[in-house]
Amino acid sequence: MPVTPIPESRNGQSGHGRSSIPAQLLSAVVWPFKTFIRRLIGEVFYQQARVTLLHEHGGVGLDWRWGNSLRRVHPIRRDFGWQSGRPIDRYYTEDHFLPAYQADIRGRVLEIGDDRYTRQFGGERVALSEILNVNPGMGGTTIQADLTDAKQIPSNTYDCAILTFTLQFIFDVPAALRTLERILRPGGVLLVIVPGISQIARYDMDNWGEFWRFTSLSARRLFEQVFRPKDITITTYGNVLSSLASLHGLHSTELTTAELDHWDRDYELVIGIRAVKRPAANTSH
């Protein structure tokens, strides 16, 4: 089944074409001093400045907020963008995926790690919110369980389950999906976000393991082992710029909305999956 894209950009423009009027004026002003500036700052820096200031398409460009070119072997930040703002992958989660399916967050809801998205997007539709963690010491935890073998959780319990950036830390993903399908009520919805392109979360890797990155196809194959194909919707988000910026730990406000929302099927930075448990059979006559 096809992957659902987000719009290429908010205004439908690709960003290519002739330079803007301000860029043309800037070029005219700088032109008499071009040779001097070129010698002063060096050829590489000069060319990257042209990419940035004149919107030419010939290099990685510069951004004065970042202070240097992205042509470097060490990331600008290693914290995914958390310390200085909101990570780019969370932009896709919070501004696109969960708003699109917030009506599914209702009734009895299970969220992994904490309940922030249950509260943020469920509101008054949520009758009961529960938080699952594999380790018992996590604050707010109401259920301590391993999703790969959670027999203590009754079947047909939840109207919705939310997992954001969780499956990459579970080695036996099929077992976890079987558990999630089992504990959903018939007609219940599973909302999942997984990483496609991402750095390693070093703390998690060293303490309990980080095993997977996904593609839209691998996600579909995994979910189709448990849910009917027609009950699965997969959406991908990202492009080469947002992927590169995310790998450098930049936060979402360091890119424009048009840059973030441009969709390129070959750069799956974030993958969102909505899966519905098969409704109960109608036995009425």
- Domain annotation covers residue 178: yes
> Can you give the pLDDT at residue 109?
98
In a domain, 38, yes or no: no
The residue ranking higher by pLDDT, 105 or 139, is 105
β partners of residue 77: none
CATH of residue 193: 3.40.50.150
199 within some domain: yes
In a domain, 60, yes or no: no
Contact assessment for residue 51 and residue 61, using Cβ atoms and an 8 Å cutoff: yes
Instruction: Give the mean pLDDT of 221-231.
Output: 98
Rounded to an integer, what distance in angstroms lies between the CA atom of residue 81 and that of residue 247? 9
Q: Cα(230)–Cα(224) distance, rounded to whole angstroms?
A: 9
Q: Which of 246, 196, 195 shows the shortest CA–CA distance to 80?
A: 246
CB 7 within 8 A of CB 263: yes
Q: What is the pLDDT of residue 12?
A: 37
φ, ψ for residue 28 (rounded to 5)? -65, -40
Least confident of 23-37, 58-72, 154-168: 58-72
Residue 14 pLDDT grade (very low, low, confident, very high; cuts 50, 70, 90): very low
Q: Is residue 164 part of a domain?
A: yes
pLDDT at 105: 98
Mean pLDDT of the chain: 85
What does the pLDDT look like over 182-201, one tens digit per residue?
A: 999 999 999 999 999 999 99
Element (H, E) at 92: helix 88-92
- Structural domain containing residue 230: 88-276
Most distant CA atoms of the chain, gap in Å:
87
Could you give phi then psi for residue 247, rounded to 5 degrees? Answer: -65, -30
> For residue 268, what pLDDT is reported?
98
Instruction: Look at residue 257 and tell me if it is in a domain.
Output: yes
How far is 99 from 92, CA to CA, in rounded Å? 10
Count structural domains, the chain.
1
51 in a domain, yes or no? Answer: no
Q: Say which amino acid occupies 14.
A: S
- pTM of the entire structure? 0.78
| Residue 155 in domain | yes
Chain segment 73-94, per-residue pLDDT in tens: 888 889 998 877 899 999 999 9
| Alpha helices in 140-232, H assignment, sequence order | 173-183, 202-207, 216-224
